[in-house]
Structure 1
Amino acid sequence: MHTRTAAATLAAALLLTACSSAGTTSAKPKPSPTVSKREQFFHAVHAADFQSWTTNGPADSELTDYPRQWCDALGSGHTVEWTFSSGGGGLYPIGEAWGTKLADAHELLLAVKVYCPTIRGQVLEELRVGGAY
């Protein structure tokens, strides 16, 4: 019986030592990979599944410049309406072989959260006031 108690005590001591040394390891956590703004934007675009692009949508290369241009226009104090209008910014997301419904364009515009997060609130407020979001 004394042997069993000694073996149980030794097993408990080894377990306790293993647990406490496992919790005190000095291994540094691996940094998470950095995801570019472009990758974040296209991940959101592909996940959105815009109805107006069901039959024919843009290639990624056709959308690449829009977010930065939208940020520049909106950051300069222009409205979403001006930014999208042909008489203003001319930055409505449309191509020769594809189009975007206005509701989808507004959702797409919210990519400013990736490229220029400080402007996102302004865009959301404008879309809410206009009844678009």
Structure 2
Amino acid sequence: MHRTATALLALLLAGAAAGCGGGSDDKPETKPTPASVTPSADPLVAFSKAVDKAQLESYATGIPVADELGAFPPQWCAALDDGHSVKWLLGEGDLYPIGQDWGTEKTDAYHLVLLGVRAYCPKHEAEVKDELRASGEY
């Protein structure tokens, strides 16, 4: 009896293993692709969404074209990489966020720099916050 039970158990286990394995009717397991897991790796998309969400007073009648406004953060990041300050960016650095048909109030410009840094070069976010806090702008 013991041999029969052992043989039956072995047969059941073998059948269960065969049912779980690589038969031709098995469908491959579907896993989410990285694109479906993360909404966007594009910093311009993240920056544009953050600007929209911030509802800056300067853009109450409409946010500038994303490509035009989005040209600033990479330049800010490059200047920060070179050791410049936010004050320099918006002053003598000539990187103040303004276009042909749009402008930005000074307080909104500080906020915009922070949003741009957060999206494009987050390694500088803490130093930008510290500078803005020290100047009373954050």
Q: Give the TM-score band, short-chain normalised.
A: 0.7 to 0.9
Q: Which residue of 2 aligns with 1:72?
A: 78
| 1:105 to 2:105 alignment | no
Per-residue Cα deviation, 1:19-75 (whole angstroms, up to 9, x for no partner) = xxxxxxx94531342511111111111111111121354221211210100000111
> In structure 2, how many angstroms separate the alpha carbons of the residues matched to 1:56 and 1:37?
20
Contact 2:77 2:117 in 1 (8 A): yes
User: Aligned-pair distance for 1:96?
Assistant: 2.3
The one of 93, 97, 102 equivalent to 2:97 is 93
Superposed structure 1 runs of 4+ greater than 4 Å apart: none
Counterpart residue type for residue 82 of structure 1: W
Does the residue aligned with 1:120 lie in a helix, a strand or coil? helix
Between the aligned partners of 2:55 and 2:34, the Cα distance in structure 1 is 27
What is the SS of the residue equivalent to 2:99?
coil
8 Å CA contact 1:83, 1:92 repeated in 2 = yes
Please give the alpha-carbon distance, in whole angstroms, between the structure 2 residues aligned to 1:31 and 1:122. Answer: 35
Shift of 1:123: 0.3
Tell me whether 1:130 sits opposite 2:132 in the alignment.
Answer: no
Give, in whole Å, the separation in 1 of the partners of 2:113 and 2:129: 10
Matches within 5 A, 1:1-133: 27=29, 29-33=31-35, 34=38, 35=40, 36-55=42-61, 57-85=63-91, 88-110=92-114, 111-133=116-138
Partner of 2:20: none
Which runs of 5 or more residues in structure 1 are unaligned? 1-25
Unaligned runs of 5+ in 2: 1-27
- Counterpart CA distance in 1 for 2:29 and 2:44 is 32
| RMSD (CA atoms) | 1.9
Bigger CA drift: 123-132 or 94-103?
A: 94-103
